[in-house]
Amino acid sequence: MSYMFISRLGKKEKKEIKSIFFDLDDTLIDHKKAQNKAIMDMWSHFPAVQHLADPKVFAQAYAGVNDDLWKKYRDGDVDKLKLKQLRMELTFGKVGVTLDDWREADQVYMDYYKRYWEWMDDARESVVALSEHYDIGIMTNGFTEIQEEKFRFFSLHRYAKHLIISEEAGYLKPDSRIFEYSAGKAGYESREMLYIGDSYTSDILGGSESGWKTAWYCPEEHTDPARAEADIQFSHFSELTDYLTTPN
């Protein structure tokens, strides 16, 4: 099987890299798969939803509501508690169900979600291998309690010296201030930092506009020459690891 790998870094630029930070969700761990399976389990958990909606319709409702609310959270239009509340009430409302207790639904979702956490293909091996050559960190958007639980579950503290969560930093990607905050924590200049992530907007544009080098994880092997801000584009971690651990 062949993989897509593109590097626009020159030898000097590659040699400058001293610290590598990873995105967490859908870069190191398969958030989308866990989320989709959790939503399917929620559909089975609530009889009222089963009677009124197809599971795929329910999943699509959740995904749309969740994406919209995270944009509002990033822009300061809703706070953490309101996001959690509206995420459940609006999702259920879209399929014609009125919730008596949104907190119960939120807990049900989180209990199912945690059952399905798993690494992306070869991501763990990449983190382990790269930690022997570089100063490793994680920078993730999300709520502190759930992201810290993921750090513990995947033992990321064993390999990453710096674990940065947007709620603690006070800024969400792609805000350049969270990249500045993370570079400061790591103790390196921006040009010495490489950020690896799956989101073109949050990870690649955010990192590039902050002066970091960036590696865009594209597991479905899509590429867009117009999106040249990414210094590296790759579809499989093994190729990225080989590239970054091979001397110039």
What is the three-class DSSP state of 34?
A: helix
Q: What's the CA gap between 38 and 119, in Å, rounded?
A: 16
Q: Could you tell me the sign of the dihedral formed by the alpha carbons of 33, 156, 199, 109, in that order? A: positive
The DSSP result for 174-187, as a single string, is T-HHHHHHHHHHHT
- Token pair 């989320």 is found at 35
Neighbouring residues of 98: CB distance < 8 A, sequence distance ≥ 6:
92
DSSP assignment string, 95-156 = TT---S-HHHHHHHHHHHHHHT--BPTTHHHHHHHHHTTSEEEEEE-S-HHHHHHHHHHTTG
First to last CA, the chain: 26
pLDDT along the chain (248 residues), means of 10: 78 96 98 95 93 91 96 95 97 94 96 97 97 97 96 97 96 96 97 96 95 92 61 94 91
How many CB atoms neighbour CB 57 within 10 A?
Answer: 14
Q: Which domains does the chain have, with CATH numbers?
A: 5-30+119-245 (3.40.50.1000), 32-115 (1.10.150.240)
Half-sphere exposure of 11 (CA within 13 A, CB side): 3
CA dist 173 and 107 (Å) reads: 26
Neighbours of 75 (CB within 10 A): 9
- pLDDT for 1 equals 43
Distance CA 226, CA 207 (A): 17
Question: Can you give the pLDDT at residue 26?
Answer: 97
Task: Enter the pTM of the model.
Answer: 0.92
With tokens 């389990």, the residue in question is 41
Q: Residue 31 to residues 25, 91, 182, 243: CA-CA distances in angstroms?
A: 5, 19, 23, 26
